[in-house]
Structure 1
Amino acid sequence: MSAVDGRGSLTRSIVLLTSAVAAVAVLLTGLFAWRTIRTNAEAQERDQLARQAEILARTPPLASWMLDRQQRIAGPDGIGLALVRPSGEIDGPAAAVVGAASRDALLSGDKVSTTARLDGGEVLVEGAPTPTGGGLVLTQPMRAVDQATARMRGSLVLPLILGLTGAALAGALLARRLARPLVNAARTAHRLSEGARGVTVPAEGPAEVAELAGALNTLDTALTHSESRQRDSLLSVSHEIRTPLTTARGYAEALADEVITGEEVPEAGRILRTEIERLEHFVGDLLALARLEADDFRLDIAEVDLDALVEEAARAWATRCAGHDVDFRVERPGRPLLISTDGFRVRQLIDGLAENALRVTPAGRPVVLSLRAAGTGGLLEVRDGGPGLSDDDIEVAFVRGALADRYRGVRPVGSGLGLAIAHRLAGRLGGTITARGRAPEGGAWFTVRLPSHSAALNTPLTNP
């Protein structure tokens, strides 16, 4: 579905929804008004008829004259008259509507207001007592109420139609106001999915729509930053691979062309093996990093004695450091330090940090592997006597390839992925890793805090 189709659908939905709500409101209001109009019309006719009865009741001679001549106030309203004499006798054309209860009420000085049937039709009945005793009664056909009701109901139709029309227009305006920023957001999302970057959505409309626009703008910035890092990483990978490949190819061609012969062949073979090992190591680091970033990365959690694990790692690294004339030291509790974690991954983390330290530590300087308890977990440290890290280095220490690019040709560097792998491993184990620029030994200082296993261990990480 295109953005335009989406907008049309949203607009129609909002217009239909607002129109339906308005229609229900108008219909309910109209129904209530429809019923109320009948009541109001009858009340108005009764009030008018009662006033007429009261006026005539105040002039008994006029009423008697009308009655004696057997006249009827008919005219267009068809009003009928009945006179209740002080003796209780009832005279007049409308005498049939005056029952005993109405007569007694008038004789007692009370007004009468009721409905009755006269000449086969329903009529309104209003009576008022006369000053001399008795009373006067007027009747009016119910058709007068029907006519007034029809007039009032007729005048109600136009406002109802205008209300529905106004609701539809308001719905259309609301739909446009809501749909426009949503359509812009959808178009921006499509452009982002197609690879466009640097596009922004205006933060307009209601708060929720503005929040959506802000989220898309943030996504655009994050994608731009992430892809920039990926390009830099790809360039770094290309550079790292190109050098050993070029060397290996040169020696391979020299051997194939018999440029290298005799006693030079073993040396060429050693160089080829070294370059291939470099490639193998680099590819291994890339695969390790890819596995760590995978959502299905697996941890085998068990009870691990960190003290024993550090002792085992120390034996291996003492031998390697001795081969480089580096003074390896270990600091550990010397008693079991049990936590629930993945021992294999912890050893992988120690090896990565130790290898990084050994690479930059000159002969005669120390590398220290330290362990101590920290709450329910353990605190691992790897310190070295190398050149250390500056404040700027610490900010990018765990960004893949950042330090390798910065110090290539200045100090020994590896694939540039070792510290990034350590950062991922620490996070996967539910812990944290921090870097400091100056250890007591003079070089870099890496600290890993390992908690006992918890639900946070497999929380996905954000790439540094």
Structure 2
Amino acid sequence: MSGRPSRRGSLARSLVLLTTAVAALAVALTGLIAWQTAADGAEQREREALARQATGLSRLPGLSELVFDRAQELSGPNGVQLAVISPDGAVRGTATPAVDTASKAALLAGRPVSTGGLLGGEQVLLVGRPDVRGGAIVLTEPYAVVAHNTDRIRRNTLLPLITGMLGAALAGALLARRIARPLGAAADAAHRLAEGERGVPAPADGPREAAEIGRALTVLDTALTRSEDRQRQFLLSVSHELRTPLTALQGYAEALADGLIEEDRLPEVGRTLAEETRRLDRFLGDLLALARLEAEDFRLDTAATDLAAVAAEAAAFWTDPCGRAGIDLRLDRPAGPVTADTDAFRVRQLLDGLIGNALRATPGGGTVVLAVRAGAGGGAELQVRDSGPGLDEEDVRVAFDSGALHQRYRATRPVGSGLGLAIAHRLTGRLGGTVTVRGHGPEGGAAFTVTLPPAAG
């Protein structure tokens, strides 16, 4: 446990920093936009207010002297100033200095004006509206009012922006906790599985992806348990297979060393020792073959190969062993070649293993069939079928697992090392093909089908 890399807070911290950074960026962009919008909006609102006032005054049939003489009272707190342009172009009123020639000409032409100007050395907003008498009304307001309103709006936006950033950071922390917690639990479960613990509870909560990781770890846990159980059974089977010949060898060797074997029994004992030695050699050979198939540097000499010819060679070799056992070996092949891109030597090794397995399972008077034919989508199919007892559904599921059928039937049927079908399965995979099994084929026993890829075009 102490060797595990520390992960505490790493994902959560990253998520919090990421969400906070995104929120800060969003706040910064929003702030920049709001900063400029506040100024534009404040100015627009002041111009619209001046426009409404100017429009209202312009509709009066005549501006009373009282209003005109005390025009400064219109300003209130905002410092609004008034100017009146008569139809003959004369301008009077406190806002007169701000009215330039272009604005006066536009107003006398009947066009409204909304611009800026200078009044008493101060920037002002200037809004004018033609009146009903042919002249115009002009109102000005210090630009300082706009600046004041802009600052107030900007101050009012700071709190929401800061609150939004803090809220985003909090949301990021909650999101990080929701994501990181099940992932951390999944990582812990994976470490425990790697250390050999089984039945480890995996997390099933959190986001869908995290829950999927938990389910995958549960499946992995189950698969590891099943695989280790099979390996354990296989090792027990290997131990049993090794112990039997070793016990015989040790017993006869001790008897010979002690002079307990009569002279006339020496040839018999020698044959027994030789047979047990060959049995050990076959078993160790299968183990080495299985190990070589797992090696990365396993060699294949691939070429376009006539599988019908390879099958014929295999049938010719196995005819005599089958005949001695009282078994009829039949070869089912087409008249012409069946070509596939593969290694002829390895295909022959594969067929020898499957035929040997069928020969052990078939009782005297039975039949073993070796068939070869072109595949439906190119390539080729090789079949080895027998008339033995066949396999049930559970046998079919574990047929290619090392030692599975050997462990099940060693007390009731003739069996080999328990590695032959596992070797066939892995060798077929190395050849780029597949091998499948039916529990009961046309002859009544098991039927193994090897499918190999077509020759390269």
Whether the TM-score (by the shorter chain) exceeds 0.5 is: yes
- Deviation at 1:149? 1.3
Matching of residues 23-422 of structure 1 within 5 Å: 23-57=24-58, 63-65=64-66, 76-108=77-109, 110-333=111-334, 335-375=336-376, 376-422=378-424
- The 5 A counterparts of 1:452-463 are 452-453=454-455
Partner of 2:304: helix, strand, or coil? strand
Number of residues of Structure 1 aligned to a counterpart in Structure 2: 455
- CA distances 1:296-346 after superposition (whole Å, capped 9, x unpaired): 432211232333333332332223234444444444445544433211111
Deviations 1:161-198 (A, max 9, x none): 11111111111111111111111111111111111111
TM-score (norm 1): 0.87
Partner SS for 1:200: coil
Cα–Cα, structure 1 residues 219 and 439, in superposed 2: closer, same or farther, change >3 Å? Answer: closer
Assess if the C-alpha contact under 8 Å between 1:353 and 1:422 holds in 2.
yes
Distance 2:54 2:208 in 1: 65
Cα deviations by residue, 1:244-296 (Å, 9 ceiling, x for unpaired):
11111111112222222423333222222211111111111111122223344
Deviation at 1:453, TM superposition (A): 4.4
Return the alpha-carbon distance in structure 1 between the equivalents of residues 139 and 306 of structure 2. Answer: 110
Q: Once the two structures are aligned, what percentage of the paired residues are identical?
A: 58
SS of structure 1 residue aligned to 2:114: strand
Determine the C-alpha separation between the residues in 1 that align with 2:70 and 2:384. Answer: 128
Contact 2:304-2:455 within 8 A present in 1 as well: no
Q: 1:278 to 1:99 in 2, by over 3 A?
A: same
Relative to structure 1, the CA distance from residue 102 to residue 400 in structure 2 (aligned partners, 3 Å threshold; closer, same or farther) is closer
Distance 2:233 2:431 in 1: 28
> Structure 2 length as normaliser, TM-score?
0.88
**Pair 1:424 & 2:426 matched:** yes
What secondary structure is seen at the aligned counterpart in 1 of 2:384?
A: strand
Question: Within 1, Cα distance between the matches of 2:403 and 2:358?
Answer: 16
CA distance in 1, matches of 2:90, 2:441: 125
Q: Give the C-alpha shift of residue 105 in structure 1.
A: 4.3
Q: Distance in 1 between matches of 2:251 and 2:12?
A: 67
Superposed CA RMSD: 3.0
**CA–CA distance in structure 1, aligned partners of residues 349 and 178 of structure 2:** 57
Give the distance between the partners of 1:394 and 1:276, measured in 2 at CA: 32
Note closer, same or farther for the CA distance 1:280–1:54 as it changes in structure 2 (3 Å cut): same
CA distance in 2, matches of 1:6, 1:246: 54
Alpha-carbon contact 1:84-1:134 (below 8 Å) kept = yes
Q: Is the 8 A contact 2:71 2:82 kept in 1?
A: no
2: CA distance between counterparts of 1:284 and 1:308? 27
Q: Which residue of 2 aligns with 1:458?
A: none
Contact 1:4 1:183 in 2 (8 A): no
Further displaced range: 78-87 or 89-98? 78-87
Distance 2:375 2:69 in 1: 119
> What letter corresponds to residue 155 of structure 1 in structure 2?
N
CA distance in 2, matches of 1:61, 1:435: 110
8 Å CA contact retained: 1:430, 1:450: yes
Instruction: State the alpha-carbon separation in 2 of the partners of residues 128 and 18 from structure 1.
Output: 52
Structure 2: gaps of 5 or more residues: none
Provide, for residues 337-378 of structure 1, a one-character-per-residue CA deviation record: whole Å limited to 9, x for no partner.
443321111111221122223334444444443444445444
8 Å Cα contact 2:43/2:146 also seen in 1: yes
Question: SS in structure 1 opposite 2:340?
Answer: strand
Offset of residue 107 of structure 1:
4.2
SS at match of 1:452: coil
Aligned residue type for 2:403: G
Q: 1:57 to 1:63 in 2, by over 3 A?
A: farther
* Secondary structure at 1:298 match in 2: coil
Task: Output the CA distance in 2 between the equivalents of 1:443 and 1:139.
Answer: 108
User: Matched residues in 1 for 2:327 and 2:102: separation?
Assistant: 125
1:56 deviates by: 4.8
Q: Deviations over 1:201-236 (max 9, x none)?
A: 233222222222222222112111111111111111
Q: Distance in 2 between matches of 1:391 and 1:71?
A: 105
Per the alignment, residue 21 of structure 1 pairs with: 22
In 2, the alpha carbon distance for the partners of 1:255 and 1:399 equals 40
Rate the CA distance shift 1:173–1:2 in 2: closer, same or farther, 3 A.
farther
Measured in 1, the distance between the counterparts of 2:358 and 2:224 equals 33
Identify the range of structure 1 (65-74 vs 36-45) with the bigger mean alpha-carbon deviation: 65-74
3-state SS of 2:78 partner: coil
The structure-2 alpha-carbon separation of the partners of 1:67 and 1:370, relative to structure 1 and needing over 3 Å to count, comes to: closer
Gaps of 5+ in 1: 456-464
User: Judging changes above 3 Å, is the alpha-carbon distance between structure 1 residues 446 and 111 closer, same or farther for their aligned structure 2 residues?
Assistant: closer
For residues 42 and 102 of structure 2, the distance between their equivalents in structure 1, rounded to whole angstroms, comes to: 26
Give the direction of change, closer, same or farther, for the CA distance of 1:90–1:184 in structure 2 (3 Å limit).
same
Greater shift, 374-383 or 338-347, is seen at 374-383
